[in-house]
Amino acid sequence: MPRRVAFPLSQPLFAEPVFTQGRPTPDPTRFKTPIPSDTKLYDEIQRLLYEDVVGVPTSRDPPDALYQLEAVWGDHGPEVVEAARSAGRVVFHMVGDIGATTMSKYPDELRVSDALAWDCRTSPADDRPAFLYLLGDVVYDFGQAAYYYDEFYEPYRNYPGPILAIPGNHDSFVVPGTAPSDYPLVTFQRNFCSTAPVVTPEAGSLHRTAATQPGVYFALDAPFVRIIGLFSNALEDPGVISSEGGTWKSVPDTQLEFLSRQLARVRAENYRGALLLATHHPAFSYETADIAAGGTGGIHGCSPRMLADIDTVCHEYGIYPHAFLSGHAHNYQRYTRTVQLAERPFQVPFIVCGDGGHGIDRLVQASGGVTPPEPPDGADVSYLDSNPVVRASGLVLERHDDYDYGYLRVAVERSALRIEFHQVGKNVMPTRLADAVSVDLAEHRILAGSRSSSKGSRSTRDRRRVPRSERGSD
Ligand SMILES: [Fe+2]
């Protein structure tokens, strides 16, 4: 059992953030707090999952503020930032949908968390990930404090770096009857948006201190990269970041102001680094052109109105992110969207990586006893972007994997960005590089050779492990 700690202790216990136990320890073999079946509860609240949005807690920082990687690392911050600058690159992990809710799924979550920790511990200093950025749905089913230990703290006890997060729908939906003090976003903020690096009750006897993000939406500034993370609210579908003109009366437009002020800052500074945008709900998730034939992006579909909100602000400033990262759909999908902004084409990877341990869903679902074929690599899916706010001239599903768990490994240098997808399969240990895309930052152009749909590229189902020496080659 996690040690029962009498709170409040004098806090913080440590003078600076703590991320790990130090010496790696074996994986747990069972949950400390059993998680009961939620089937009955889901049946009761099914309709609410598509109707009940939640309010958005205002960040404690002004909307144009940056949360610096240096601050994330505490006393080691200057050293970490200087190391990245000296190496000419910063590397980090991203993944969504990590929490396992049954003992049969727990090994899947642990394999991913172990692979991430292994990557940090075995990479040379100039290629070592500086943080993990969770793309939401950290704790299932509804972000209960009681499950943070088993679903987050213990699986990630060996990850030797900071872990930041935007909340997903499972970290924010309020089950009717929940006391306000137990609302999932209250618990999320206690563990990810703390004002000091304290040990929370959810961490039990582990040493990891709470992250000190300024809010559930925030702009992380690191060498060569800035990540704007938005909270896409509590619905199963779609993602919601604003009131959408009054449609969602309890959702403020705070995040539109935040995004606007951040892009204004990018423009005013003439910022030349990589600009990434992250939401839990994906803008694009595969749906067949003929819905009646079956197939809805691994259960979850697109969020066109959320994308329209984002596109509207981007259009106003003539700025577009270099890549858009999401989770929610429990698989890997990589799209290229081409938009015309300021009279020039921007090629933008839209990547879904919601396969961090909770489950894997197929892109196509059986209908009438027939399962439609999966889309091929390079499928033109422009029909998913049929009414864009910006001028869009194409959407291609470059690659997908709906069989394996995995994570993203992102490397950003002064002139280019590279996003890799690493599989963590049951028979592939520790990992296998399965896909990668590189983007020229100045040109917003995907670099030749990084599209994996070309002939001769490895199938995502080819389980041969790629040696580390092959990393970095497109
Ligand atoms: Fe989700």
Q: What is the CATH number of the domain that holds 189?
A: 3.60.21.10
5 Cα: distance to centroid of ligand 1 (angstroms): 31
Residue-wise over 446-458: b if at least 16 C-beta within 10 A, else e? bbeebbbbeeebe
Residue 172 structural domain: 39-82+93-117+129-406
pLDDT-derived band at 470, boundaries 50, 70, 90: very low
pLDDT attached to residue 193: 98
The CA distance from 209 to 191, in Å, is: 8
140 Cα: distance to centroid of ligand 1 (angstroms): 9
259 domain residue, yes or no: yes
169 Cα: distance to centroid of ligand 1 (angstroms): 5
190 Cα: distance to centroid of ligand 1 (angstroms): 20
The CA distance from 381 to 399, in Å, is: 12
The arithmetic mean of pLDDT across residues 240-261, rounded, is 97
Average pLDDT, the chain: 89
284 domain residue, yes or no: yes
pLDDT attached to residue 428: 58
327 Cα: distance to centroid of ligand 1 (angstroms): 7
280 Cα: distance to centroid of ligand 1 (angstroms): 7
CA distances from 244 to 47, 234, 235, 391 (A): 20, 15, 14, 20
442 domain residue, yes or no: no
51 Cα: distance to centroid of ligand 1 (angstroms): 15
229 Cα: distance to centroid of ligand 1 (angstroms): 15
Q: Give the phi and the psi of residue 301 in degrees, each rounded to 5.
A: -110, -155
300 Cα: distance to centroid of ligand 1 (angstroms): 8
385 Cα: distance to centroid of ligand 1 (angstroms): 21
272 Cα: distance to centroid of ligand 1 (angstroms): 32
282 Cα: distance to centroid of ligand 1 (angstroms): 9
412 domain residue, yes or no: no
Q: Residues 73-130: pLDDT tens digits? A: 999 999 999 999 999 999 999 999 999 999 999 999 999 999 999 999 999 999 999 9
Check whether 432 has a pLDDT greater than 80.
Answer: yes
| Sheet (strand 163-165) strand order | 163-165, 132-134, 89-95, 405-413, 416-424, 432-440, 445-446
Residue 182 structure tokens: 């137990």
124 Cα: distance to centroid of ligand 1 (angstroms): 34
126 Cα: distance to centroid of ligand 1 (angstroms): 33
193 domain residue, yes or no: yes
Check whether 316 has a pLDDT greater than 50.
Answer: yes
224 Cα: distance to centroid of ligand 1 (angstroms): 29
The arithmetic mean of pLDDT across residues 376-393, rounded, is 93
3-state class of 68 per DSSP? strand
pLDDT attached to residue 301: 86
Q: Residues 168-191: pLDDT tens digits? A: 999 999 999 999 999 999 999 999
54 Cα: distance to centroid of ligand 1 (angstroms): 15
415 Cα: distance to centroid of ligand 1 (angstroms): 33
C-beta of residue 450 within 8 angstroms of C-beta of residue 437 = yes
Check whether 471 has a pLDDT greater than 90.
Answer: no
Nearest to 191 by CA among 151, 226, 229: 151
142 Cα: distance to centroid of ligand 1 (angstroms): 10
pLDDT attached to residue 10: 63
Could you tell me the end-to-end alpha-carbon distance of the chain, in angstroms, rounded to an integer? Answer: 46
The arithmetic mean of pLDDT across residues 10-19, rounded, is 78
234 Cα: distance to centroid of ligand 1 (angstroms): 8
Check whether 324 has a pLDDT greater than 60.
Answer: yes
Number of domains in the chain: 1
Q: What is the CA radius of gyration of the chain?
A: 21
Q: List CB contacts of 104: < 8 A, sequence separation 6 or more.
A: none
143 Cα: distance to centroid of ligand 1 (angstroms): 11
pLDDT attached to residue 448: 78
pLDDT-derived band at 365, boundaries 50, 70, 90: confident
The arithmetic mean of pLDDT across residues 287-293, rounded, is 70
C-beta of residue 392 within 8 angstroms of C-beta of residue 335 = no
Check whether 328 has a pLDDT greater than 50.
Answer: yes
The arithmetic mean of pLDDT across residues 138-147, rounded, is 96
254 Cα: distance to centroid of ligand 1 (angstroms): 21
440 Cα: distance to centroid of ligand 1 (angstroms): 30
318 domain residue, yes or no: yes
240 Cα: distance to centroid of ligand 1 (angstroms): 12
137 Cα: distance to centroid of ligand 1 (angstroms): 5
470 domain residue, yes or no: no
463 domain residue, yes or no: no
Q: Residues 19-34: pLDDT tens digits? A: 998 888 999 999 999 9
